[in-house]
Each structure stands twice: as structure tokens, then as C-alpha cells.
Chain A
Amino acid sequence: MDTVSSAARPQAPATGAPGLRLLATLLAVAALGAVPFVAPTMQLLVNLALAKGLAVMGVTVLLRAGQVSFGHALYFAVAAYGGAFLMAAMPGADLLLLLVAGVAGATLAGLLVGLFVVRYRGIFFGMLNLAFSMIFWSILEKFYHITGGADGIRLPRPTVLGMELGRGDFELVLFYLSIALMLGLGWFTIRWFASPMGQLFQTIKTNETRLEYLGVSPRRALLSGYLLSALLCGAGGVIMGVAQGVVTPEYAWWIRSGEMVFIAVLGGSGSVQGAFIGALIYEFVRTYASAFAGDVWQMLLGGFLLVIILFAPRGVIGIVEAIGRRTARSEDTR
């Protein structure tokens, strides 16, 4: 379990000089920000990847406590449907209101489900989450008159700060909002990991007995992280729903949850940056592999993951960090 353990340590040895890391981050953000102008055809693809990255960050939070959820698509779907219902009730509602409402709905759902599932660990934790997401999926499928069944419901374009924008402008705003969320929520999550609260949460992975003998309820500690993970998944769900303009039960489907875990491992389980790197790689491989390799794109993705697990157990972020370390070393010796 070296994969998660080393990634989980907030005070892990620096991977490369801090200046170098900051530069790399700035370059990556600048590159992302330039996409609508440099490669406009990829804008939607990147936006969907960022939405997934936000949700994967939620799964990553739980990995820090050694827990895997196979049902976090639930919060993705709750937020997306919350946004769609809000738009149906309040046509022309604001994008930020949608985001706040969706995230609040997902967090509330996280609290309700979390109070129950934090009693369990390991496979039971993972499968109970799956069970809740599948219950929600069935509700979405069966209550056709409310949810639109398998067809889902439309999520019309919301206003932005009271302004009705055309499609192109709106997509641009949504794109930059996604980047802002990635930076803001990513920063908060990294800070939270390093905070006393985040550290108490992460100790669930190594020693719950000691945690209890520190006077802390392990369930409460896990619940705090669970709520954060639901919130992050909710943010991803709203962005995804708004970007696609329609929400379907597939949002809560177990494959969606599995995809989040897949991306988390691919990017580097336990890493915030890895969640987004993994999501971008996943979306690109999926899109282009399915375009050029027809029905075998899943096999290609599976093979890719296998290679990562075998040769880069810390995920893509592990490779990036290793390159950073090597560069820093060569800078030092120069």
C-alpha cells in the first residue's frame, strides 16, 4: 500500500523545488486557460474532464483515510438533478445559485448517507455506498413523471450574474468557472489535508484504536471527510450537468462510480493534482480511443491502467513528481 501511503502524507518530502512546482502549476493552469483559444474544439472535452476531476477529488479524499467508495456517483447525480429541478422551478436561475444549491444538496445527502456508512470500513463501506447510489439510480429510472426516467431531464442554460449569455459565451464562462473551482476547491482540499481536522481524518487509515484513545470519535472523523467528498462530487455533478445540458440516471450508475475510482488510481490515489491529471488523461484516451479503436477502447483503458499499476504505482502524479525530483537534483548539482 505504498501507493497511497506516501501520497497520503501531507508533509511528504518535497518533490522538486517549491519554485519549480509553482512554475509547473502556473504553466498547467495557463495551458488549460488557453484551450478555448488555442484548441476550441477541445474546450468541452476539457470542461467535462474538469467536472470529473472535481468528483474524483472527492473519491481521493476518502482514499486518504484508506476507504474506497464505489457509490460516489450518488452525490454527482444528486447535485446535477438538484440543479435541473431548480432550473425547472426557477427558469433563468443563476449559475452560481445552481452551483450552491447542487453542492448543498449533495452535502446534505452526504450527511444522511454518511451517518450510516461511516460505521463500516473496507469492502462494507465501499459496497454500502454502491447500494445507496443504485437505490438513487432506481428512483431516477422509475419515477418517470418526476425524473424523466432513462431519458433524464433537460438542464437549460442558466443565467450568469443575471445576464443571459449566448452559447459560446456561456460555455466560456462555464469553462473558466470550472478552472476556478479546480483551483479553489483543490487549494482548500490540500489545506484541509494538512489541517488538524484533515490529519485526524487520515489517521483512520493507520490506527483507529489510537484515534479513539485520543478522545476522538473515528466515525465523526470519517464523517468530516465524507462530507467534503460529497461536496466535491456535487460540484463536479453541477458542472457536468450544466455543460451537457441534460442529466440522466446514468449519472448515478455504478459504472460512473467505478470510473471515479479508476481515474483516482490512474492519476495517483490520494493526490489532488492527480485527480485532474487522471481525469484529463481518461477523457482524452476515452474520446480518441473510442473514435479510432471502436469497441476496444475499454480494453485500451484497462491496459493503460495495468501499465500504471505495474510500473507507476503512485499513478501519473508519481511519474510527474519523479521527473520534478530529478530536475531539482540536476539543478542542485549544476
Chain B
Amino acid sequence: MSAPLLETRNLEIRFGGVIAANDVSLTIESGRNLAIIGPNGAGKTTFLNICTGWLKPTRGQVLFEGKDITPLPPRKIVRRGVARAFQIPQLFTEHTALENLLIAVAAREGLRNPVRDLHTIPERAEMMHLLEMVNCADVADRTVVELSEGQRKLVDIAVALALRPRLLLMDEPTSGVASSQKHRIMEILVEALAQAQVTSVFVEHDMGIVEKYADEVAVWNAGNVQLRGTPAEVLEHPDVIRDVIGEVA
């Protein structure tokens, strides 16, 4: 039996007296979209930060395709096939949307030719296609500061996809976006992930989004996984309704 795509074993991290990850053991299989939900401060973003090497756990292990990646810095984890999209899009603000992707592909391919123009690299067409996939081809030549928040989110995700990851971790992909746009963004995103055959884990607060686009849901509470299951199972659970959704069961 092959190893899960991502596995965490007994992860623990403390910030002073606060335990942000408390013995987290979790497996993520290929081809699934896992949503992480939970109240603020439950440790959801911390979990993503540990898995991508930004934070080092005080105890436990992170395994990607069966190999221990716990001590590696983010850049080495990225090179193994784990990409990240952020709650606040992390883009190169002085560059255009397309240039952000071209820079990503230059990083992926290790392009070192010191006199070749970035715009003439052969992967340009591939990056334009990626922008089309996330519905941002029409803003390819606009600088990031000229993009709407929703477009920035999508370009941020496209940058991560440009790295051809096998796993994409996303922190609130629809936060800061107008409600009317959220489902549109998720539809584009889920389709792009399916086309690129990328497994995803995303932190989300909008239960409508979780219900519609996640294959599985993990509920975080006090630094640990409280519950895991299909959206239908999890979102109907009285504890989730009480602690996360905030309605009286």
C-alpha cells in the first residue's frame, strides 16, 4: 500500500503557554479536496505553516509521500511538490499577473540564463493557459496593484499551480472577496485543480463553500482535529453546529 500524500504524526507546537497544535495526526490522500474548518485561533493556519516548513513543530513529524519533510525550509518543501496560497495573496506587486507566473516558472525550471528576457521563455504559453484556467487572462498585463482582491487570490493560486505541485495548501481562498464572487472563484479554482490533478487542503470559514466544494472536512478545535468526514456528515454534527457554525443545535 502506497504512503498517503501527506501525513502528520503527533504534531505539537507551543507559543508560550498556548498550544497551537496539540498532537495532530492526520493523513491526506491524493485526489481529494480537504477543507479545514474551525473557530478563530483553533490552529488551522498554524497547521498549514507547519506543513509548509514556515514553523517547526516542537514535537512530531510531517511526511510527504512517505518522506520526512519536518526539518526542511519552505523552499525545499516546495521543490518536493507542496505549494502554498495565502489568505493575503503573496504576489510581486510591481510585476504584472503574467510576470508573477513567469517568475514562478523560472523558479520551477531553475532558469539561469543571465541575458534571456523573462518574457521570451518557452513556458510563456503554458502560463497564459494557466491564467486562462483561473479566468485571469484578460488581466495578464496588469500589475498586481491594479487587480481586484478576487483576481489577486486567483493569481496567487495560479502562481502556486505554476510550480506544478502535487499538493496545494490554501488559506481561506475566498476571504476578502465579495460574497457574490466567492462561488465563482471556487468553481474556477476547483476546475483548475482538477485539470492540473492537484490535491488540495483549504482553510475555509464559509460553510456554503465547504459543503459545495470539499470532498472531506476536518474540524479543528484547540489545536487538534475534532472531527473528520464528508461535508454532509460533519456539517450536520451538533458539536460543529455549536462550536463552528455558531447556531443552536
User: Which A residues contact B (CB, under 8 angstroms)?
Assistant: 5, 8-11, 188, 191-192, 194-200, 202-203, 205-207, 209-217
Q: How far does the alpha carbon of A215 sit from the alpha carbon of B52 in the complex, in Å?
A: 11
| Distance between Cα atoms of A205 and B79 in the complex (Å) | 23
- Inter-chain CA distance A211–B103, complex, in Å, is 9
Q: Which residues of B contact A202 (CB under 8 A)?
A: 94
Known interface pairs A214-B104, A215-B163; A188-B94 also in contact (CB < 8 Å): no
Alpha-carbon separation in the docked complex, A214 to B78 (Å): 7
Which residue on B lies nearest to A209, using beta carbons?
B90
Contact of A197 with B114 in the complex, beta carbons under 8 Å: yes
| Cross-chain contact B114 with A213 (CB below 8 angstroms) | no
- Chain B residues lying within 8 Å of A195, measured Cβ to Cβ, are 111, 113-118
Nearest chain A CB to B142 CB, angstrom units: 12
Q: List chain A residues, Cβ under 8 A from B94.
A: 5, 8-9, 202, 205-206
What's the minimum C-beta distance from A184 to chain B, rounded to whole angstroms?
Answer: 12
B93 CB contacts on chain A under 8 angstroms = 206-207
Evaluate contact between B118 and A196: CB separation under 8 angstroms.
yes
Contact A215 B91 (CB under 8 A): no
B91: contacting residue among A5, A9, A197, A210, CB under 8 A? A210
Provide the bound-state CA to CA distance between A207 and B163, in Å.
Answer: 17
Residues of B within 8 A of A215 (CB): 75-76, 78-79, 107-108, 163
Q: Are A213 and B113 in contact (CB under 8 A)?
A: no
Given the interface pairs A207-B92, A213-B52, A215-B107, the reply to whether A196 lies near B112 with Cβ below 8 Å is yes
Interface residues on B, range: 35 or more
Q: Which residue of A lies closest to B115 (CB)?
A: A191
Q: Which residue of A is nearest B93, CB measured?
A: A206
Tell whether, in the assembled complex, residue B116 and residue A207 are in contact, meaning their CB atoms are under 8 Å apart: no
Whether B95 is near chain A, meaning CB under 8 Å from some CB there, is yes
B242 at interface, CB cutoff 8 A: no
With A196-B112, A207-B91 given, name 7 new contacts (CB 8 A): A188-B115, A196-B118, A199-B118, A200-B103, A203-B92, A215-B78, A215-B79
Is the beta-carbon distance between B114 and A191 smaller than 8 angstroms?
yes
Does B106 have its Cβ within 8 Å of any Cβ on chain A?
A: yes
Cβ contacts A to B, 26 pairs, < 8 Å: A5-B94, A188-B115, A195-B113, A195-B117, A196-B106, A196-B116, A197-B111, A197-B113, A199-B106, A200-B103, A203-B92, A203-B95, A206-B94, A207-B91, A207-B92, A210-B91, A212-B78, A213-B160, A214-B78, A214-B103, A214-B104, A214-B108, A214-B159, A214-B163, A215-B75, A216-B107
Which residues on A sit within 8 Å (CB–CB) of B117? 191, 194-195
